[in-house]
Amino acid sequence: MPRIAIIDVGSNTAKLIALEYRAGHSWRQLDELRAVVRLSSGLEEGGALRPRPFARGLAALRTFASYAAAIGADDVVATATSAVRDARNGPDFVVAAGALGIELQVLDGAEEARIGALAVANGLGVRDAVSLDLGGGSFQLAEIAGRRWSRGASWPMGAVRAHERFLRGDPPKPKSVKALRSATRAAVAAWRAGAPPPVFVGLGGTVRNLANVHQKRVGYPLDLLHGYRLPVDALASLAEDLAGMDAARRAELPGLNRDRADIIAAGATVVAEVATSLGVSELLVSGQGLREGLFYPFLLPDAPEHLLDDVRTFGVLNLMRQYHDDPVHNAHVRALALALFDGLRPWHSFGEVERELLGHAAWIHDIGMAVDYYRHEHHGQALALGRALPGFDHREQVLLALLVRYHRKGSPGVDGYASLLEPGDGERLRLLAGVLRLAEYLERGRAQRVTGVEVRAEGDGIVVWARSEGDVHLEVEAANLRRDLLAQALGRPLTVVGRDDVEAAA
């Protein structure tokens, strides 16, 4: 599989991610290197990168170049954003990077926003939105329409620069916070007026860190940032709290990244003020950003504009391929589960939304086998919640993980996730887990011997006929041993019969 190293020299942090991928098929992250370079530290408008930040940035690049060579990366993509772009001696930095063998592309604000929009479209599956990408040096606002970047602008007011330019004192003086808010408000007002956008997306390390602090505050039951919905009133009060503390106290806050303890108040103020100015009520966090946006052209070379055709299915298949790529068995369980779901429609009231979830759960039901056969349903639940699934909200991802958990055994419950779920999700889960379980045991031999199912009413009960072209004794017996969950969810008796039973009765 090809390997790629993607390097992004930001104003606060320089990062490298190493990925392994099969174009159009799957990818996984291999490694990450990170250096806090504070490149824009002391950078005045129209000024130059100062010697120490310049040297720190180059040292990070030297390490990254050495790493990329060591892992045999097939491609190295390296970009720099506002600090290098805006500094008078930015070109010197590019030349120095070139001497290390790194071809550094300096992105202009529009390119940066366009690449970020690609990450939002492929990572969140969002169609129409405004996105805010807040870095160390600048922030970008972009309008995304029909999954594509439509227009955007950039302001030199990233967390590091806003901190240095506006905030005076530690804790910052209220007047200086007020000035930063006004400047932010003015920037947004000059760029966009009118109705709030349908979705407001936030990108970048500051946004992720604010979301993390908020999750710790509310005791959020998942360890996922991508796809998190942060209410704007909570964001505003968090920004106020942070501006009221000194850096030392901020560093003690649960979830706060100590590297950012000084600059986070400025960053939080900008994010909250942008959201308020736009009139939105929540911020949707994107864990993907510039680096992922730079990667999609490699992953999807043939897709129009490198856009994923179906974000959710790609994410589910990628999860399956990463852990337990038994596509024949999984596809067969999926087909049986969907046929059962359809055949049982006279007895349940669920529709397309549930059918789609069931189909996704079937793809990934066995991923826990990558850990161990024993308790693989538990391992699978953990793997399904290990990373955010692109295009799903957290409630849906929890439902998928619980379907994995209960696909073989156990009595489905919402466990510790009740706060994320909706009324009716308990019944939803039991019906879908019951269907998936029956399908899984109809594929007990993993050899596609049950070729289809037919569902019929018989008296008060339901009979599931397993079509086959051979001995399906194993599958029919196994399915009958595990039919109770589905029968309970449907509120009536259910029996599975196979050809043998027909012959025996004849």
Q: Which is nearer to a second copy, 200 or 228 (CB)?
A: 228
At closest approach, how far in Å is the CB of 47 from a second copy? 29
At closest approach, how far in Å is the CB of 341 from a second copy? 24
Q: Which is nearer to a second copy, 50 or 379 (CB)?
A: 379
Question: Which residue is listed with tokens 């909570």?
Answer: 234
Dist CA 96 CA 102 (whole Å):
9
Using CB under 8 A as the binding rule, the residues of this chain from 46 to 75 that contact a second copy are: 62-63, 66-67, 69-72
Q: Which of 447, 463, 488, 495 binds a second copy (CB under 8 A)?
A: 447
- Residue 355, judged by CB atoms within 10 A of its CB (0-12, 13-18, 19+), counts as middle
CA atoms 221, 225, 230, 235: torsion sign: positive
Q: Which is nearer to a second copy, 70 or 195 (CB)?
A: 70
Question: Coil, strand, or helix at residue 423?
Answer: coil
- Cβ–Cβ under 8 Å, residues 426 and 413: yes
Q: Which of 165, 178, 312, 446 binds a second copy (CB under 8 A)?
A: 446
At closest approach, how far in Å is the CB of 473 from a second copy? 5
* Beta strand ranges found along 171-246 (DSSP E): 200-203, 229-231
Stretch that binds a second copy, among 26-34, 211-219, 351-359, 407-415 (CB under 8 A): 26-34
Using CB under 8 A as the binding rule, whether residue 14 contacts a second copy is answered as no
Using CB under 8 A as the binding rule, the residues of this chain from 353 to 412 that contact a second copy are: 370-374, 383, 386-387
Interacting residues of 320 by C-beta distance below 8 A, sequence separation 6+ = 327, 330, 363, 364, 367
Instruction: Write down the H helix ranges in 308-448.
Output: 311-323, 327-343, 352-364, 376-384, 394-405, 425-441
What 22-31 contacts at long range (C-beta under 8 Å, 24+ apart), as own/partner pairs, is: 23/298, 23/299, 23/300, 23/301, 23/302, 24/299, 24/300, 24/301, 24/302, 24/303, 25/321, 26/317, 26/318, 26/321, 26/322, 27/295, 27/299, 27/318, 28/322, 30/3, 30/71, 31/67, 31/71
Q: Which is nearer to a second copy, 231 or 445 (CB)?
A: 445
At closest approach, how far in Å is the CB of 372 from a second copy? 5
Q: Which is nearer to a second copy, 35 or 236 (CB)?
A: 35
Dist CA 57 CA 68 (whole Å):
16
Stretch that binds a second copy, among 25-33, 105-113, 129-137, 181-189 (CB under 8 A): 25-33
Dist CA 407 CA 429 (whole Å):
10
Q: Which of 148, 165, 306, 473 binds a second copy (CB under 8 A)?
A: 473
Dist CA 212 CA 205 (whole Å):
10
Dist CA 93 CA 106 (whole Å):
10
Q: Which of 36, 307, 474, 487 binds a second copy (CB under 8 A)?
A: 474
Using CB under 8 A as the binding rule, whether residue 29 contacts a second copy is answered as yes
At closest approach, how far in Å is the CB of 475 from a second copy? 8
At 135, the amino acid letter reads G
Using CB under 8 A as the binding rule, whether residue 445 contacts a second copy is answered as yes
Tell me, by CB under 8 A, how many residues bind a second copy: 31
Q: Which is nearer to a second copy, 355 or 378 (CB)?
A: 378
Dist CA 78 CA 304 (whole Å):
23
Interacting residues of 64 by C-beta distance below 8 A, sequence separation 6+ = 5, 7, 14, 16, 33, 78, 102
Using CB under 8 A as the binding rule, the residues of this chain from 111 to 140 that contact a second copy are: none
Q: Which residues pair with 465 in a beta bridge?
A: 454, 497
At closest approach, how far in Å is the CB of 84 from a second copy? 22
The residue count of the chain comes to 506
Stretch that binds a second copy, among 28-36, 207-215, 300-308, 345-353 (CB under 8 A): 28-36
The encoded tokens of residue 14 equal 């320089």
Using CB under 8 A as the binding rule, whether residue 477 contacts a second copy is answered as yes
Stretch that binds a second copy, among 22-30, 127-135, 410-418, 488-496 (CB under 8 A): 22-30
At closest approach, how far in Å is the CB of 27 from a second copy? 12
Q: Which is nearer to a second copy, 131 or 209 (CB)?
A: 209
Q: Which residues pair with 32 in a beta bridge?
A: 17
Q: Which is nearer to a second copy, 445 or 493 (CB)?
A: 445
Nearest to 208 by CA among 151, 267, 168: 267
Q: Which is nearer to a second copy, 148 or 378 (CB)?
A: 378
Q: Which of 449, 482, 483, 499 binds a second copy (CB under 8 A)?
A: 449
Dist CA 378 CA 407 (whole Å):
10
Nearest to 325 by CA among 366, 275, 273: 366
At closest approach, how far in Å is the CB of 378 from a second copy? 11
At closest approach, how far in Å is the CB of 38 from a second copy? 17
Q: Which is nearer to a second copy, 94 or 447 (CB)?
A: 447
Q: Which is nearer to a second copy, 359 or 386 (CB)?
A: 386
At closest approach, how far in Å is the CB of 86 from a second copy? 28
Using CB under 8 A as the binding rule, the residues of this chain from 151 to 210 that contact a second copy are: none
Question: Coil, strand, or helix at residue 390?
Answer: coil
Binding site residues, a second copy, CB under 8 A: 28-32, 62-63, 66-67, 69-72, 370-374, 383, 386-387, 444-447, 449, 471, 473-474, 477-478
